[in-house]
Amino acid sequence: MERLPHAWFDRPAPEIARALIGAQLLVRGVGGRITETEAYAPDDPASHSFRGPTPRNRAMFGPPGLAYVYRSYGIHLCLNVTCQPGSAVLIRALEPLSGMEAMTARRGTQDPRRLCAGPGCIGQALALRIEDDGTDILTILPGPEVRIVTGPRIGISRAVDLPWRFGMAGSRFLSRPFRNLGRI
DNA sequence: GCACCGATTTGCT
DNA sequence: GCAAATCGGTGCG
């Protein structure tokens, strides 16, 4: 199976965020099935890119299909896939499949449901480094068509009504449950 | 220059 | 339920 080419990601973030649910994501051979994403767009007040390029967010204005890795709350490293300029998709949760041993060791738990349930947890499970920012570390393989649920993004205070959080319906590998009945 | 706020997680009360 | 950990960005003086 071929990985999705960079040009595939040259689309608006909400479209990519939805399409990535069910795909498989690997970083240096470790990862799993994408179960939860969020979209961030150029004209989106909740996006790091909203006020233009900075040293932190410069990857969001670069080529599509690369990693945008940023430090969250000074502690965690969170993973995005870049899309159209100023756009990115935050990877919020995975169903862990590959490199289970490495992930359990890094996360300090055997519970598969806690390995990659949250953006900071993914950063730790995949051993992301700040030097990965803006680089081509992502292998993303197409997955099956799956039922999608949507809802408001988590942890933001602006544009709170946009339904730009996407999840795999019925998955047990989510950072938090989806309240809504917003199936697609 | 300085204070405050996050695209978070964990552990303790 | 709440505070702590810790740093880049933003806004104000």
**Range of the structural domain that residue A10 is part of:** 6-168
Tens of pLDDT, residue by residue over A41-63, are: 999 999 999 999 999 999 999 99
Number of separate domains in chain A = 1
Tens of pLDDT, residue by residue over A110-155, are: 999 999 999 999 999 999 999 999 999 999 999 999 999 999 999 9
Gap from A54 CA to C9 C1', Å: 9
Residues with CB under 7 A from strand B: A 38, 40, 46-49, 57, 60, 68, 70, 72-76, 78, 80, 88, 90, 107, 114, 118-122, 124, 153-157, 175
Structural domain includes residue A173? no
Read off the CATH number of the domain in which A33 is found: 3.10.300.10
Q: What is the DSSP string of A51-113?
A: T---TTTGGGGS-TTSEEEEEETTTEEEEEEE-STT-EEEEEEEEEEE-HHHHHHHHT---HH
Per the structure, the residue whose CA is closest to nucleotide B6 at C1' is: A73
